[in-house]
Amino acid sequence: MESSVRIAMAGFNLESVSFLPEVTSIADFQHNETRGNEILRRFRGSNTVMGGFIDACEEAGFDMLPIVMTEAGARGSAADPAFDHYADVIITALTAARPDIDGVLLHLHGAMTTPTRTDPDRDILEMVRSAVGPDMPVMLALDYHANLDAASIAPANATFGYHYSPHVDMGETGRRAGRCLARTLRGDVAPVTAIAKPGIMVPSILSATSLHPLRDFVERSLALSRDNPAIIDVTVFAGFSYADVPNCGFSVVVVTDGDVALAESTARDLSAGLHAKRTDLYKPGFARPLPEALDHALGLARSATAPVVILEHADRMNDSTHVLRALVERNVTRAAVPYLYDPESAEAACKAGAGNTIRLRLGGKSDARAGGPVEVEAEILWAGHKTYVGTGPMRKGNHVDVGLAALLRVGGITVSVTQVPTTAIDEDPFIQFGLEARDFDLVVLRSKTHFRAVWEPLAAEIVIADTPDWGPADLLTLPYRHVPRDTTYPFNELG
């Protein structure tokens, strides 16, 4: 019987920093787009939601109809034509396939914006529901940084999010959603979902699930579904504070087997617990002003036996130059600045070729807040199109394509530039260029939480520097227009 069950799968992902002037185009999405059965070949066995969907479908003996998987990382809003394009791709395929499919597995981020939409993920989900009708099971897998309210998830039968940041459980999240779909189709469960919001926003760097007290809430959420067979799944979502939207911030989503009251009370209790700890969850004082952070890091680096990380955490496009400029001015040596997003410099270096020295205006071009380009003389150590299969715990098995790239020597600083914004989170930005991370005294990173899986054990210390970029520690400094300040911490109590 089950061999005739057929599941449609689609993914459309972007985390939008809605303050950035740049919009994310169709071409930006197409850079990391896979269609049809190629999705099975590319994602099977990887730590991705799509990989998890495939696992669950193969476990259950389901046939699969993979439609599209595209993701553009974290950058500005999706251009409206890009939203329309992918909505059309997904809805056209579902409409055509509807008589022949039994369920849908959908992978969205949950923090996309477009210039005209504050919850395009909800809009896609609503379109999917109308395309497949009211009775077909639709399971939704979201990023832990999704901004949600009741309407965002209402059209899905059940919603699942990553439990951890770093997102080491992306594949597992796909499997949770896929297995729930299998149980639903077998008639073993009838999922219902509830959501509650504690009214809290935190900078992304404070969404790391290794931090207290957040870790306690994640552990509680996992224990709930482990200890109570009626609770199918619980996710604590941290939200994404750099998308200016009405449903910004934390939420708790609970999926139970047919028990609406249990789902609601469980979500409400966890949410109330988070609200009670709001002043411990949002503590903007963790970052040092840049000069102080640099002095501290350089002091440590003199005697450390492992690299010291300077975290330029407020950077949102991987192109901030506040730290790089300071390093150049101070003539720092044995320092690495991996994966600076700078398509112009990557292209110029590829044109000039390895072995040559050229003048470049490095980084800082995405927005005035990024710090502006740093004028340098750069020796090109390597240049070309860089693709590889990720080796770190989060990107393991993932196909990574940073576009044109170059490895540069700028005085005593080793800089790699990429054509596609890619956050350095593991050792691949070194390994894939024939470098060894431990050979550097100082490493500049820009990741918020994902780097911790590799760099917490690797680094001598992580020194967090605050800069005036679009992802600051102090949320009160951002020009929000859509966030409901009167019901959201910190605005309602500290603003």
Residues engaged in binding Zn ion (CB under 5 A): 143, 145
Contact 140, 159 (CB under 8 A): yes
Q: How far apart are CA 473 and CA 205, in angstroms?
A: 8
- Which is closer to Zn ion, CB of 184 or CB of 247? 247
Minimum distance of Zn ion from residue 449's CB (angstroms): 8
Please report, for residues 12, 175, 245, 454, the alpha-carbon distance to residue 163 in angstroms, rounded to integers and kept in the order given.
20, 13, 22, 18
Q: How far apart are CA 182 and CA 53, in angstroms?
A: 11
Question: Whose structure tokens read 């600083």?
Answer: 413
Minimum distance of Zn ion from residue 126's CB (angstroms): 23
Minimum distance of Zn ion from residue 145's CB (angstroms): 4
Minimum distance of Zn ion from residue 291's CB (angstroms): 31
**What HEC string does 386-416 produce?**
EEEECCCCCCCCCEEEEEEEEEEEECCEEEE
Minimum distance of Zn ion from residue 74's CB (angstroms): 8
Tokens (6 digits) for 166? 């770093």
In this chain, which residue has its C-beta nearest to Zn ion?
A: 145
**Burial class of 370 by CB neighbour count within 10 A (0 to 12, 13 to 18, 19+):** buried
- Which is closer to Zn ion, CB of 209 or CB of 467? 209
Minimum distance of Zn ion from residue 303's CB (angstroms): 35
- What angle, rounded to 10 degrees, do the helices at 214-227 and 260-276 form? 160
Beta-strand pair 191-196/251-257 = antiparallel
SS3 assignment, position 39: helix
Q: Is 239 left (phi over 0), alpha (psi -120 to 50) or beta?
A: left
- Which is closer to Zn ion, CB of 242 or CB of 455? 242
Minimum distance of Zn ion from residue 218's CB (angstroms): 14
Minimum distance of Zn ion from residue 115's CB (angstroms): 22
- Which is closer to Zn ion, CB of 13 or CB of 114? 13
Query: Residue 487 half-sphere exposure, CB side, CA atoms within 13 Å?
Result: 11
Beta-strand pair 308-312/442-445 = parallel
**Number of C-beta neighbours around residue 493 at 10 A:** 10
Phi, psi of 203 (to 5 degrees): -60, 150
- Which is closer to Zn ion, CB of 143 or CB of 257? 143
Minimum distance of Zn ion from residue 221's CB (angstroms): 16
Tokens (6 digits) for 306? 């492992």
Minimum distance of Zn ion from residue 95's CB (angstroms): 30
Closest CA to 198 of 249, 234, 159: 249
What residue ranges in 273-348 does DSSP mark as E strands? 288-289, 308-312, 335-341
Longest dimension (CA), the chain: 70
Tokens (6 digits) for 360? 């470049």
Q: How far apart are CA 275 and CA 253, in angstroms?
A: 15
Strand order in the sheet with 461-466: 288-289, 461-466, 308-312, 442-445, 335-341, 413-418, 399-410, 374-389, 357-362
Minimum distance of Zn ion from residue 167's CB (angstroms): 6
Minimum distance of Zn ion from residue 164's CB (angstroms): 10
- Torsion, Cα 301 409 32 143, to 10 degrees, reads 10
